[in-house]
Amino acid sequence: MPIYVDLIYSAAAREIAKQPRLLRLVEEALKQKTVRGTDVRFEYNAGRTVGYSHIVETAESDSVLYAQCTKESVFSRFVKNKKPIATQHISVTVRHAADGSYEVLDAWIGQLHPPLPGSDNELPESKDFWMRHAMILTDQSLQHRTATTVSPY
For the stretch 22-63, pLDDT in tens is 999 999 999 998 888 888 999 999 999 999 999 999 999 999
Rounded CA gap, 151 and 97, in Å?
36
Is the separation of the CB atoms in 123 and 66 below 8 Å?
no
The pLDDT of residue 111: 96
The pLDDT of residue 98: 85
Q: What is the H or E stretch that residue 92 is in?
A: strand 89-96
The pLDDT of residue 2: 82
The pLDDT of residue 100: 85
Q: What is the H or E stretch that residue 13 is in?
A: helix 11-18
Exposed, middle or buried, 19 (CB in 10 Å: 0-12/13-18/19+)? middle
Rounded CA gap, 132 and 68, in Å?
18
pLDDT under 70: residue ranges of the chain = none
